[in-house]
Amino acid sequence: MSDVNEVHTGHGAIRVGDHVKYHPVGGGDSIQTESTGVVQEIVTEEKHVGSVNVHATPDMPRVAIRNDKTGKVTAYRPENIVGRVEEGGE
């Protein structure tokens, strides 16, 4: 696991353990359905996440998120994260 536990997005800092909304396809400006999940790890090196090999660096990190509905962990670019899920909301 990476030593990094926070990444900055256009919507503020996201930390390991945060419950977030994100676009699973396209970037943060994409008109897509939002998914929700919990941040598992901030990936800063090349490693296997879920079923793919992720090419991440400290300058280009990826955020590994466990999807609330499927339970699958997938790594996304920080710009795919829309923000945190509000308490009491999805």
Tens of pLDDT, residues 44-57: 999 999 889 999 99
Distance CA 61, CA 87 (A): 27
Checking if the pLDDT of 2 tops 70, the result is no
6-84 is classed CATH 1.10.10? no
Residue 25 clears pLDDT 50, i.e. is over it: yes
pTM: 0.84
pLDDT category, 1, cuts 50, 70, 90? Answer: very low
Per the DSSP assignment, residues forming a β-bridge with 20 are 37, 84
Q: Would you place residue 24 in the very low, low, confident or very high pLDDT band (cuts 50, 70, 90)?
A: confident
E-strand ranges in the chain read 6-9, 12-15, 19-22, 35-43, 47-49, 52-54, 62-67, 73-76, 81-84
